Amino acid sequence: MLVSYHSHSRFCDGKGEPEEYVRSALSKGFSAFGFSSHAPLPFETDWNMKAEALPEYLRVTRELKERYAGRIELHTGLETDFFAGCTDWRTMPGITYTLGAVHFLPHPATGAAMPVDGNAKEFKETLEEGFDGDIQAFGEAYYGKIREMLLSMPPNILAHLDVFRKNNAGDRYFDEEDEWYREEIAKTLDVVSLTDVIVEVNTGGMSRGYLKDPYPSWWILSGIFEAGIPIQLNSDVHHPDAVDFGYEAVRSGLLKIGFTKQRVLYGGIWQDVPL
């Protein structure tokens, strides 16, 4: 079943109207599609939705849901950020699901937000200024924050679990075989297993040219399969043309691992459907 519950539009850092994404999803044969603009933040960034745009976001996506009823099931969600003092969007009226993410970490001394998954320059800055160039300390802080989110404010869906490696193509900063990295992943999957959070398989790093494989890495997906953790294939789309970017190749990789199902919000309930 073709779906994506991870999408952006002009309400945050995506291009185009939400309806353009719906039309594209329909033309590709999608059964369901979810809007997940970056939730408003208490400080300025160039990628999140402004707080004053939230009522319009809710209205526009609700109207689309009504207009396209019977053709495609639409859902209004948010991609939320987890940090000290963050808003809990899970009970916000009009929001039916959240994708939880860690996009930035606090500077150890000043508390200022430092990007985790920015561009190459931003990643280097966070590493050097926040962690004195210690990639292991940076990685432990990131995965530690993910675990904290899972335990204290679990979302419906965990967004791009290992987005930490976005700028690590060619093992530029670390090797995923490194013991500390394997340990962080193992600990994180153990915590996911304690929850009923879905881990998304996200092709967004591929569509934007950062990586050749999805989040999480294939070896992590094998661990997820063995642990019986539910998955969901999402595109994290920022342009209407890319709603199913990489789906064919990634789906066949998932089938090879042994996955046959994905967990989706469909017919108003969370349920497992064929991948």
On whether the CB atoms of residues 221 and 201 are closer than 8 A, the answer is yes
> Which residue among 73, 184, 200, 236 contacts Zn ion (CB under 5 A)?
236
Q: What is the DSSP letter of 267?
A: T
Give CA–CA dist 67/93, Å, rounded.
20
Q: How far is the CB of 228 from Zn ion (least distance, A)?
A: 25
Which residues pair with residue 215 across a beta bridge?
202
- Considering only CA atoms, which of 42, 47, 22 is closest in space to residue 34? 22
Choice between 5 and 138, CB closer to Zn ion: 5
Give CA–CA dist 157/199, Å, rounded.
6
Q: How far is the CB of 238 from Zn ion (least distance, A)?
A: 8
Instruction: Return the structure tokens found at 93.
Output: 């009226």
Quick check: 162 binds Zn ion (CB under 5 A)? no
Choice between 79 and 162, CB closer to Zn ion: 79
**How many residues at the interface with Zn ion, by CB under 5 A?**
3
Q: Give Cα separations from 202 to 126, 158, 240, 243 (angstroms).
A: 23, 10, 16, 11
Q: Which stretch binds Zn ion (CB under 5 A): 14-22, 40-48, 81-89, 231-239?
A: 231-239
Quick check: 101 binds Zn ion (CB under 5 A)? yes
Choice between 96 and 222, CB closer to Zn ion: 96
Q: Which stretch binds Zn ion (CB under 5 A): 70-78, 93-101, 121-129, 248-256?
A: 93-101
Give CA–CA dist 84/145, Å, rounded.
10
Q: Which stretch binds Zn ion (CB under 5 A): 54-62, 168-176, 177-185, 233-241?
A: 233-241
Choice between 101 and 229, CB closer to Zn ion: 101
**CA 78 from centre of chain:** 10
Give CA–CA dist 275/273, Å, rounded.
6
Instruction: Return the structure tokens found at 118.
Output: 């920015």
Residues 6+ positions from 158 with CB-CB distance below 8 Å: 99, 100, 146, 150, 192, 197, 198, 199, 200
Q: Which stretch binds Zn ion (CB under 5 A): 17-25, 71-79, 128-136, 246-254?
A: 71-79
Q: How far apart are the first and last CA of the chain?
A: 6
Choice between 101 and 224, CB closer to Zn ion: 101
Choice between 101 and 254, CB closer to Zn ion: 101
Choice between 73 and 236, CB closer to Zn ion: 236
On whether the CB atoms of residues 59 and 82 are closer than 8 A, the answer is no
Quick check: 39 binds Zn ion (CB under 5 A)? no
Q: Which stretch binds Zn ion (CB under 5 A): 48-56, 63-71, 97-105, 124-132?
A: 97-105
Q: How far is the CB of 239 from Zn ion (least distance, A)?
A: 12
Residues of the shown chain interacting with Zn ion in the complex, contacts defined by CB under 5 A? 79, 101, 236
